[in-house]
Amino acid sequence: MKKISIAIDGPAAAGKSTVAKIVAEKLSYIYIDTGAMYRALTYKAIQNHVNLENEQELLAVLQKTSIELMPGEEGQIIILDGENVTNDIRSAQVTNSVSAVAKHRAIRAEMVARQQEFGAEGGVVMDGRDIGTHVLPNAEVKVFLLASVDERAARRHAENQSKGFPTDLEQLKKEIATRDKLDSEREVAPLRKAEDAEEIDTTSMSIGEVADRILALAAERN
Ligand code: C5P
């Protein structure tokens, strides 16, 4: 079977990475979490006291930064300059700052180039905000996952609780809505459904059902 590319986009906490991991595993494809790349840069910039509004300074940091994504026991492991930052990049501070970093044109150009290199051979499932529109415009399968803010916050809340993290449902709702607004309204490559992407409203679907829907599309387009 031919190795195709699968692009999964959608707003924050829509279940993209959970579904993408399942689909990649079933097809023995590589999985690329592009949000983790923006998060890794944000983490490093915060550590180094870089002003997140300073595009050139951020770009200089990125150009000297290695970000590797590797499969691990419990999902993707993120290695930043040789250091495992898988958990660090999920902190509230990074989550609430990442959209400021991701809005810069020069940062996106460099990230997109790296992502396209990762996906160059096909056989890839990539998730993010601009995969179907910019990173893999020729992907054979493009989906856009949707769910209400309440539903997404409730899912993230349950996930946090199961991991033993402190979590506040109302706060999560606010943070998700704010991040969606920033990501949708930015000038460069805003969060958008690609014209040829299939929209899947996951509100009343299980993760398995969403994964099966994407696998069915992959089988059709293969
Ligand atoms: O997917 P995740 O929630 O981890 O993404 C973190 C942030 O990275 C998003 O809120 C967005 O600002 C940025 N992002 C992006 N383009 C992508 C993936 C993520 O701008 N392809």
pLDDT in tens, 122-139: 999 999 999 999 999 999
- State ipTM: 0.99
Query: What per-residue confidence (pLDDT) applies to 155?
Result: 92
Ligand 1 atom with the smallest distance to the CA of 179 is 10
The tally of domains found in the chain comes to 1
Quick check: is 24 in a domain? Answer: yes
Q: What is the CATH number of the domain that holds 77?
A: 3.40.50.300
The pLDDT tens digits of the residues spanning 95-120 come to 999 999 999 999 999 999 999 999 99
Question: Does 215 reside within a domain?
Answer: no
**What pLDDT is recorded for position 99?**
97
pTM of the model: 0.96
Q: Is 10 annotated as a binding residue?
A: yes
Nearest CA to ligand 1 atom 3: 12
The preferred substitution site among 94, 183, 192, 193 for testing ligand 1, maximizing ligand atoms within 8 Å of CB, is 183
Label residues 169-202 b or e (16+ Cβ within 10 Å = b). Answer: eeebbebbeebbebbeebeebebbbbeebeebeb
Is 217 domain-assigned?
no
Average pLDDT score over residue span 186-206:
96
Please report whether residue 214 resides in a domain: no
Q: What are phi and psi of 84, to 5 degrees?
A: -75, 115
Q: What is the pLDDT of residues 13-32, one digit of tens each?
A: 999 999 999 999 999 999 99
Residue 200: which domain range? 5-204
Tell me if 136 sits within 8 A of 14, measured CB to CB.
Answer: no
The span from the CA of 19 to the CA of 190, in Å, is 22
* Average confidence score pLDDT of the chain: 96
Q: Which residue shows structure tokens 């419990």?
A: 74
Q: Which residues contact 152 (CB under 8 A, 6 or more apart)?
A: 11, 12, 13, 14, 15, 176
Pocket test for ligand 1, best of 8, 38, 89, 159 (most atoms within 8 A of CB): 38
